[in-house]
A and B are shown apart, each in its own frame.
Chain A
Amino acid sequence: MADTAATVALDPTAPGSPLDDGTTLAEGAAADPAGRRRRRGQGITFWLATGWLGFVAFVAVTASWLPLADPNDQNLRNKLAPPGSSGHLLGTDGLGRDILARLAFGARVSLLIAFAAVTIGMVVGGALGLVAGYLRGWFDAATTWVLNVVLAFPGLVLLLALVAYVGQSLLAITLVVGFLSVPTYARVARATTLAVSQREYVLAARALGARNRRIILGEILPNVILPVAAFGLVALGVVVVLEGSLAFLGLSVKTPAPTWGSMIAEGRRHLDRTTHLSLVPSIVMFLTVLSINFVGDALRSRYDVRESAL
C-alpha cells in the first residue's frame, strides 16, 4: 500500500505493502537479542495515536457545530496570515480562508471516503474471499482470476481514469476506491478461510449435517472477520493518502470544498513566500496516516493472519 505512500498500493496484503513487511515496531523490540518482550499491553505511543485519531474523528463529525469560521469564507485583505494571527489560529490561505476550519471540514471528506471505501471493500471482498475459499473449485478459480485482472492494473492509474470519467462526487470516489480495494480483502479472507476450513470443528459441523451457509456464517466467518478487519484498519491510511493524492491532482471532491490534499496543492503556489499553507495540512495528514498505521500495526500483530493460519 503506499504506495509511495502516494504512489499508493491499493493492496495492503501484497507483500509489497509497506505494512506487510513482517516487522512491527513491537516485534522489532521483541527481536531484540536480549529477548525483552513488551507484553504488557500497548505503550504510550499507541494511546497517543488513538487519541489523535479520536480527536480528528470528533472534529470531522462535529465540524458544523464547532465555533469555526466558514471554510469557504474569503477575505482577500487578510490572506496568507501566519498561524496565530487573531481569529485565525492556524492562519489563512491564499484567499484569506481560515485554515483551521478548512482542515476540520477537510477531515470530513478524508474520513468519510476512507471509512466508506474500506467498508465497501471489506464487505464485498470479504464475502467473495470467504465463499471462494470455502467452496474452492471453479468458483474459486474464477474469482482468483478476476481478482488478478483487477490487480494487474496499476492502482492509481485505474483510479484516475475511473474517477475522471465517473465524476468527482463523494459517492463516485468512494465507490471507485472501494471497488479497487475489493481484491485485497478477498485475498486475506480467502487465505484465512482456506486455513480455517481445514479445522476439525468445521469437519464436525459438516458431519453433524450443517449446510454450507451455516458453516460459512457460523463457523468460518467469526474466524475470518478479525484478520480482515485488521487489514481494513491499515487500509484506512492508504485510502486517506489516495484521496489526498487525488485531491492534490484536483480530481477529488470539487472545489471549493476543502480537502487536505487540495489544501496542500494550493499552498504550493505560495511556497516562495510562506510555507504554512502546505505545511499545516501536510502535518495533519502525516500525523493521521502515521497514527492509523501505528494503531493498525499494533492491532494486527495481535490478530496476525499468519498466526491464525497455522
Chain B
Amino acid sequence: MSRVLAGKAVSLLTVLLAVSFLSFLMLNLLPACLECQILGPDNLDAEAVAEVRAELRLDDPIPVRYVAWLGDALSGDLGQSYYTKQDVTDAVVERLPVTVELLVLSMVMSLAVSIPLGMVTAYRAGGILDRVVTGATFGMLAIPSFMMALLLIYLLAVEWGWFPATGWTRLTADPGENLRSAFMPALSLALVNVAVFTRLLRTDMMATLQEDHVLLARSKGLPTWRILVRHALRPSSFSLLTVAALTVGNLLGGTVIIEQLFALPGIGRLLFESIYKRDLMMVQGVVLVMTTGFVVINLLVDVLYAVLDPRLRTRRLAHG
C-alpha cells in the first residue's frame, strides 16, 4: 500500500509541478505592464523602468524566473504584491482560515443532509419520499450557488432578519457570531452538493442493498437502521467520497463568488480582487495554494479508500 501511495504521490507531484509552471507561464505571458503597475502610469521614465525590471528580473528567461519563483514558494515565500507591497504568503495565511471554515462547514452540512436522505430514499426506492427527493434534487441541480445565495439573503436576512446579510466575525472574536456569519454562505454552497451527493449515494446504496451480505444481515434479524448504517453505508460510500473530494475543486471556485457576495475576507475574495486589480503575484500565489490544496485533498481520499475497504489494501498491492 505505501508503495502504491508513493507512486501516486509522485505522479501528483509531477501534475502539481506542471500546474504551477502553467499558472506561472499563463500569468507571465499574458499582456500586463508590470512596470506601469508598480510605478504608476505617470512615472515611466526609462531609468526607473530599467530598475524595476532588474529588480523583478523581468529580463531573465521565463524558465529561470519560474525556478526562482518556485524555489521561493517552496520555502514559503510567494513574493510580494506589486500593489500593496504586502507579502502574498501573509495575505493568504491571513485569509485562508475563513475559506477553510466555509469549505468544511458546507461539506459537513451537505453530508449531514445527504447521507441520511440517500440512505432512506435507497431503502424505500420508488416510495413517495423517494420520488419527492429525487424530483427536488433534480431541480436543485439547476440552481447555481449564487442564485441560492441571493434567495437565502432575501429570505433569511432581508425578510426575516435572522442572519446578517454580509460580513464576517472572526472565530476567535465570537464563536457564536462567527457561526451566524458563516451559516448562509456555507449553506448556499452546500445545497447544490446535497442534490449531487444524495442522488449519488442513493444509486450506490440501491446496488449495495441487493448484495448477499445485506440479505444475510437481514435474515439474522438485525434491525434495519443497523443494516443500513453498518452494512450498507460503508461499501456504498466510495463514489460519494471521490465526488466529495472532487467537489472541493468546485467549492473553491464557488467560494470566489460566495465570498464576494457575502463580503467575506477569504482567499476566494482575495483572488477575485487581485484578478480585478491585475495583481499578478497575488493571483499566482493564490492559484498555487488553491490548486495544491485540491490535489492534496484528492490524494488523502485515495488513502481513505484503503481505510474504508480492506480489500483494496491487498488488491492494489498485488497489482502495484
Q: Which A residues contact B (CB, under 8 angstroms)?
A: 1-9, 14-19, 21-23, 25, 28-29, 31-34, 145, 148-149, 152-162, 164-166, 237, 241, 244-245, 248-249, 251, 261, 264-265, 267-268, 271-272, 275, 278, 282, 285-286, 289-290, 293-294
Contacts and interface: CB of A to CB of B under 8 A. Distances in A.
Interface in B128-163: 130-131, 134-135, 138-139, 141-148, 150-151, 153-154, 158
B27 interface: yes
B272 A28 contact: no
A234 to B, nearest CB: 10
Contacts of B18: 149
Contacts of B26: 161-162, 165
Main SS of chain A's interface residues? helix
A21 to B, nearest CB: 4
B251 interface: yes
24 contacts: A2-B141, A2-B196, A4-B193, A7-B253, A9-B249, A18-B141, A153-B249, A154-B253, A154-B290, A157-B290, A157-B291, A160-B256, A161-B26, A161-B27, A161-B283, A161-B287, A237-B142, A241-B144, A244-B144, A248-B146, A268-B153, A271-B150, A271-B154, A293-B141
A3 B253 contact: yes
B15 A148 contact: yes
Given A32-B125, A157-B291, 9 more contacts: A4-B250, A5-B144, A6-B147, A7-B145, A149-B22, A154-B252, A249-B272, A265-B146, A268-B261
B250 A286 contact: no
B69 interface: no
A251 B16 CA distance: 27
Interface of B, helix, strand, loop or mixed by DSSP: helix
Interface residues of B, number: 73
B275 A3 contact: no
A9 B252 CA distance: 11
A165 B253 contact: no
Contacts of B251: 4, 7
B70 to A, nearest CB: 16
